[in-house]
A and B are shown apart, each in its own frame.
Chain A
Amino acid sequence: DGGITQSPKYLFRKEGQNVTLSCEQNLNHDAMYWYRQDPGQGLRLIYYSQIVNDFQKGDIAEGYSVSREKKESFPLTVTSAQKNPTAFYLCASSIRHRSYEQYFGPGTRLTVT
């Protein structure tokens, strides 16, 4: 079955620690995206990547970092510089330049205390 997987589903961390969220897809999509969602709010774009070894900042990139070493994988690191990291994180992928057809993963709920 083709799709996007995110792990883990729930993640708990202490303040001051970096944490990496996993996103893997086997849809053969070139483009991948990371979004953050806070309660009662829509999705805000953190980073996106159109091809391997290239990525662009979205609207709220501060305190986050990404890498795109393989087509299938787009991990997101939430660094200690991110002031309010507790949120629901969604990963998505699409055919390149067809962001209107994004497929979403199930999400990771990160809680930092």
Chain B
Amino acid sequence: EDKVVQSPLSLVVHEGDTVTLNCSYEVTNFRSLLWYKQEKKAPTFLFMLTSSGIEKKSGRLSSILDKKELFSILNITATQTGDSAVYLCAVSKEETSGSRLTFGEGTQLTVNP
């Protein structure tokens, strides 16, 4: 059975802290790993990772994938209150009936001023 596990499930930090969110997976026919940010409503796309060891960066956010150890991390440096959200990890796979995503439980990040 496919599995995507995120840790921690929740995290409370102060503004300015650096956080690391983890995502491990066991999925057949792996294609790519994605990170989303969800603030109350629809998830918004952050990163897609397909190759091992290549860091993706966007401002204070960065992410890397390890396909050998089957995990990814999402780093957020100098956190701000606006970073408070649920961060979702998802794995894309190919199936005979078409491609689909499998999501983890999410990490609830709270950044206090």
Q: Which residues of A contact B (CB under 8 A)?
A: 31, 33, 35, 40-45, 48, 50, 56, 58-59, 90, 96-102, 104-107
| Cβ contacts under 8 Å, B108 to chain A | 40
Determine the distance from Cα of A90 to Cα of B105 in the docked complex, in whole angstroms: 15
The reply to whether B98 and A100 form a contact with Cβ atoms under 8 Å apart is no
| Cβ contacts under 8 Å, B97 to chain A | 50, 56
| Cβ contacts under 8 Å, A33 to chain B | 100-101
| Cβ contacts under 8 Å, A106 to chain B | 41-42
The reply to whether A44 and B34 form a contact with Cβ atoms under 8 Å apart is no
The reply to whether B41 and A102 form a contact with Cβ atoms under 8 Å apart is no
Known A40-B9, A42-B88, A107-B42; judge A100-B99 contact (CB<8 A). yes
Size of chain B's interface in residues, with CB distance under 8 A?
27
* Minimum Cβ distance to chain B for residue A40 (Å): 7
Partner of A45, one of B34, B101, B104: B101
Query: Taking CB as reference atom, which chain B residue is nearest A48?
Result: B100
Query: Taking CB as reference atom, which chain A residue is nearest B104?
Result: A42
* Minimum Cβ distance to chain A for residue B34 (Å): 6
The 8 closest A-B pairs by CB, nearest first: A104-B42, A50-B98, A99-B99, A42-B103, A100-B92, A43-B103, A42-B105, A42-B106
Determine the distance from Cα of A45 to Cα of B6 in the docked complex, in whole angstroms: 17
The reply to whether B104 and A99 form a contact with Cβ atoms under 8 Å apart is no
30 contacts between A and B (CB under 8 A): A35-B103, A40-B9, A40-B105, A40-B108, A42-B6, A42-B105, A42-B106, A43-B88, A43-B90, A45-B100, A45-B101, A48-B98, A58-B100, A90-B42, A90-B43, A96-B98, A97-B94, A97-B98, A98-B99, A99-B92, A99-B99, A100-B32, A100-B34, A100-B48, A100-B99, A100-B101, A101-B45, A104-B42, A106-B41, A107-B42
